[in-house]
A and B are shown apart, each in its own frame.
Chain A
Amino acid sequence: MNPTTHSYKADGDIVSTNASQHWTRLESAIQNVSENELLEVDLRAANMVDSVGLNVIVKTIKTVDARKARVRLLIGSKSLKRICTFTRLDQKAEIVGP
Chain B
Amino acid sequence: MLQKIKERIHANWFSATRQPAPAHGLSTHIRNTIGEVENVFRGISDNLDLIDEKTKRLRQDCQILLAAAGGQNESTQLLFRVAEALESPMAFLTSCLQDHQRNHDLMLASQQSAADLLKMQNDMVTSLEPLKFMLVFFKIEASQLSEENRQTFHSVSEEISRLHVLVDETFQKNIRNLQDARDAILTAEKNSKSERVLQSQRISDKQSEISQAIDSLKGQIEANAKTSADLDIHTNNFESAIGTLVMSLQYEDIIRQRCETILSDLDQKPDHVSDASWLVLMASQIETAAEEIRQSSNELNSGLNAISHQAEELYRSATTMDQFEHITASADGMVQMLLESLESIRGMLEQSTQLSQDSREAIQPVQNLTKELSAVVFEVSIKIQFIALNAQVRSIQVGEGSGLEVLAARTADISTELRTLGDSTAIQINELHQAVDELVNTIDAEWNGGKQQLASVEAQSPALEAELHALRDSTLNSLEIVASLSEMVASFSNDDAERLHQLTLQSDKLEAFARDLRAQANLDQLKPRARQKVDAEIQALLSDKQGAMHTRVHNDSQSQSFDLGIGAHLQNRATSSKSLTSDNIDLF
Contacts of B329 in A (CB 8 A): 86-88
Which residues 33-52 of A have a CB within 8 angstroms of B? 50-52
Interface residues of chain A: helix, strand, loop or mixed (majority): helix
Does A7 count as interface, using CB distance less than 8 angstroms?
no
Contacts of B330 in A (CB 8 A): 87-88
Interface string of A47-69 (1 = CB under 8 A from B): 00011101100100100000000
Given contacts A50-B473, A52-B469, A88-B330, contact A58 B336 (CB under 8 A): yes
CB-defined A-B contacts under 8 Å, sample of 21: A50-B469, A50-B476, A51-B468, A51-B471, A55-B339, A55-B469, A58-B331, A78-B483, A82-B319, A82-B479, A82-B483, A85-B319, A86-B318, A86-B319, A86-B476, A87-B329, A87-B333, A88-B329, A88-B331, A88-B332, A89-B331
Which partner residue on chain A sits nearest B470 by CB separation? A51
Which partner residue on chain A sits nearest B477 by CB separation? A50
Does B321 count as interface, using CB distance less than 8 angstroms?
yes
Q: Give the A interface residue count (CB, 8 A).
A: 18
Partner among B339, B471, B473, B479 whose Cβ is within 8 Å of the Cβ of A86: B479
Does A20 count as interface, using CB distance less than 8 angstroms?
no
Contacts of B318 in A (CB 8 A): 86
Partner among B331, B473, B480, B483 whose Cβ is within 8 Å of the Cβ of A87: B331
Q: Give the B interface residue count (CB, 8 A).
A: 22
Interchain nearest-CB distance for A64 vs B (Å): 13
Does B154 count as interface, using CB distance less than 8 angstroms?
no
Which partner residue on chain B sits nearest A52 by CB separation? B469
Does B472 count as interface, using CB distance less than 8 angstroms?
yes
A16 adjacent to B469 (CB under 8 Å):
yes
C-alpha spacing A40/B333, complex, angstroms: 24
Interface string of B454-487 (1 = CB under 8 A from A): 0000000000000011111100100110010000
A83 adjacent to B339 (CB under 8 Å):
no
C-alpha spacing A88/B325, complex, angstroms: 9
Does A92 count as interface, using CB distance less than 8 angstroms?
yes
Contacts of A83 in B (CB 8 A): 476, 479
C-alpha spacing A89/B333, complex, angstroms: 12
Given contacts A50-B473, A87-B331, A92-B331, contact A79 B483 (CB under 8 A): yes
C-alpha spacing A58/B336, complex, angstroms: 9
Interchain nearest-CB distance for A49 vs B (Å): 9
A79 adjacent to B480 (CB under 8 Å):
yes
Interface string of A72-97 (1 = CB under 8 A from B): 00000011001101111100100000
Contacts of B319 in A (CB 8 A): 82, 85-86
Interchain nearest-CB distance for B322 vs A (Å): 11
B472 adjacent to A86 (CB under 8 Å):
no
Contacts of B469 in A (CB 8 A): 16, 50-52, 55
